[in-house]
Structure 1
């Protein structure tokens, strides 16, 4: 946005006029006083008179040259130039003071709550740097305030979601335990059923609390990684082995591929293992009809590895892909489906990957649904997200 010239008020124009007139009068008085003083000095000194006469007789450009080049005229000419400079300097200084006054007025206007307003005045270069800094400071303050509002709204949303997810199983637990307390069961089979249901609901609450704790921990500032050097290929093999029993029950086969082998990297193995577990569990829960889960790691370049966890089950709708990593989001659109879960798993995964300086995104088609992680091979490198 361009700048606009300062519009001086009638009072400010009068101030400039008075400043100029007063300065001229003072300079004329000063010049007159200096001329009188020098004349008196010359009259009282024969040496000065001799020097002035020498100048008059030496510099000759015509009949009237001695008169034109008399010291009075030379002095008046020099003083006139000096006077013009002084008048210009004082007027410019006063004008810059007025510019500062207008800038301060703009600042008061912004301070009164007009935070969308910016100073667009055309001012001198020094003051312009100050104005630019002020505008940048206001932009930063507004951005911080907006971020603070988002954080507050996010906290409120978090409390609402957690309250909802805790209240549902807690209500069931209290209800079934109330039935037991009031002995409202017909036989031991009913009693065991009520206890078992309460136990399952308590387990759901435990998962939610643990995920919430993990989420806040990885999102907090100052979270540090406990890095070690390990073989990513071996980690993926161990991951597939740990889910071998579940895979057998659901008729799913794991396929692991790494390039090169071994694929050595330095990272927080425990936290990455948490990410991989979440993604594999999601593949079991939501990849309906899947026959394969693919674990693939490939080094690209000298400092980057791309890890894909894919399944060939039902695809994720395109409109849900960009929302997957929002906390408490579930594709099935319900907060109480049989799939369970806290809705925080992918948000935790995204935070852990970001802690490592990488990023994660999802791709889904009729053939494969993939969660793709791009991670640096060593800590301290922050990868820039490439276009998919």
Structure 2
């Protein structure tokens, strides 16, 4: 820490004034001691005898002189007092500098940190203050992101609900006003309104599921799950829909009858979303393969298709809510943009990880889960 010119001058003045005061005090003490000794003949004679008895060498050099000893002791005390006063004054200046830095930060300069280092316990104060400011800034940033995230969620939900709702109101309005020319027009309008309502229902369900899996206090029902049977059942349940698109479904687990501790309902939703994602967006795919393999105390499940490659710049955003690789294509397929965000939430609940690997030959969503579920400690 650098002192200002005024502080250095004050520190020098403090030292000089202390030296002068100590000198005057020492002179006073020596004079008073000398007067006390001379006014007491017995004490003076005793000191003279001690001086005579403490002579050494052929020249009878005296090693005792109460004045010398007194002056020496007083000088040592003076040095200690001088150092103590200067250090105390310097510590006060350090504290003043720290307080000024705190006032500067409190005025709204939250990107500022106390830049200097000092010795002693005040350095702990500086370190704690800087850490506290960092923590406060991080909390403010997190709160700002949460607020922004809420605003984005409301905006996206409002937009995605308004579009089909507008269509539903429009077509039902035509029917209400009898603005149709035939029974076919009537059926067409009602069918379109039904599809849009179904789309809204899907969005609401996905939104509800997303909010559930994102809650840290959401209940999770852990049980032993036969992963082989689950993947076989999922492949069979999507087989009819896949066959309409010319896609074959298959499931393979190594070892067979692989058991895992997990929430069966949420795990089924996880893999269903990945399969549905492959069916919707795996353009020109001919197969979707579900494979599971045990690796040490973890299991790696891959949902793979040979459809179109996912652009590299889009891969890092896939698990963000409402993110769509192609907006127009997602609308055409009825995608809500929440499916993979729900996948991420369920994986996090099970303390696992999920990633995507995509190239010109195949696209794989790889889910890694622990075989044995360990609840987090609060």
TM-score by length of 2: 0.91
1:177 and 2:172 aligned: yes
Q: Tell me, in whole angstroms, the C-alpha distance in 1 between the residues paired with 2:88 and 2:362.
A: 72
Say if 1:379 and 1:45 are closer, same or farther in 2 by CA, change over 3 A. Answer: farther
Partner of 1:385: none
1:98 partnered with 2:77: no
Cα gap change, 1:223/1:45 in structure 2, threshold over 3 Å: closer, same or farther? Answer: farther
Paired residue for 1:332?
326
The corresponding residue for 1:268 is 263
> Map of 1:119-268 to 2, 5 A cutoff?
119-268=114-263
The answer to whether the aligner puts 1:346 opposite 2:346 as a matched pair is: no
Measured in 1, the distance between the counterparts of 2:49 and 2:232 equals 108
Q: 1:248-283 CA deviation, whole Å, 9 max, x = no partner?
A: 333322221212222222122211111100000111
2:105 to 92, 110, 132: 110
Q: Note the alpha carbon deviations across 1:86-126, whole angstroms, 9 max, x for none.
A: 10111011011101111211121122222222211132232
Measure the CA separation in 2 of the matches of 1:320 and 1:336.
14
- C-alpha displacement of 1:15: 2.3
Q: Where does 1:25-104 land on structure 2 (aligned, <5 Å)?
A: 25-39=20-34, 42=37, 48-49=43-44, 51-61=46-56, 63=59, 65-66=61-62, 69-104=64-99
Two-structure CA RMSD over aligned residues (Å) = 2.3
- Given candidates 351, 358, 368, the residue that maps to 1:374 is 368
Q: Is the CA contact (8 Å cut-off) linking 1:290 and 1:311 kept in structure 2?
A: yes
For the residue of structure 2 that corresponds to 1:276, the secondary structure is helix
Q: What is the deviation of 1:33?
A: 4.4
2:224 and 2:40 map into 1 onto residues whose CA distance is 96
Inter-partner Cα distance in structure 2 for 1:100 and 1:64 = 57
Q: For 2:315 and 2:164, how far apart are their aligned partners in 1?
A: 28
Q: Does 1:9 align with 2:13?
A: no
Which residue number corresponds to residue 278 of structure 2?
283
Point out where structure 1 has 5 or more consecutive residues left out of the alignment. Answer: 383-388
In 1: Cα distance, 2:18 partner to 2:189 partner: 99
In the alignment, what sits opposite 1:322? 316
Partner of 2:103, secondary structure, is helix
Deviates most, 185-194 or 285-294: 185-194
What CA deviation, in whole Å up to 9, does each residue of 1:219-248 have, x standing for no partner?
233234221122212211121122222233
Task: Give yes or no for contact 1:211–1:344 (8 Å, CA) kept in 2.
Answer: yes
CA contact (8 A) 2:324 2:330 kept: no
Count of residues paired in the alignment: 375
Rounded Cα–Cα distance in structure 2 between residues aligned with 1:58 and 1:113: 75
Shift of residue 46, structure 1, vs aligned partner: 6.8
- Does the C-alpha gap of structure 1 residues 265 and 50 become closer, same or farther in structure 2, counting only changes over 3 Å? farther
**Which is further off, 92-101 or 152-161?**
152-161
**Compared CA separation, residues 322 and 49, structure 1 to 2 (3 A):** same
